Amino acid sequence: MRIIEIQGGLIMPVGNREYKLINKINESTDGFLYKEDLSERENELARNLVSRGALLRLQDGDSIKFGTNTNTVTCIDYTI
């Protein structure tokens, strides 16, 4: 379990798989990943994170891309 800081200074706990997806998006060259480039599991995690406010879902022409909604990649690691 990790804690991230999203836009506006809100703190949100995320699971390890969700955190890996957020890191994958942050490590991409333009800061976005297209829905077509994600696995079915990652798409479901991204949809969940969009509803929680941690990711942004943007339409780019005919495709959909996901980006982070974080000020910085601020995280606190802890184990439950």
Number of domains in the chain: 1
Q: Which residues on adjacent β-strands are paired with residue 5?
A: 11
Mean pLDDT for 40-69 is 93
> What is the average per-residue pLDDT within 1-25?
87
Selected residue with higher pLDDT from 29 and 78? 29
> Do 9 and 71 contact (CB within 8 A), yes or no?
yes
Domain range holding 57?
A: 2-77
CATH of the domain at 26: 1.10.10.10
Instruction: Tell me what the mean pLDDT of segment 28-50 comes to.
Output: 94
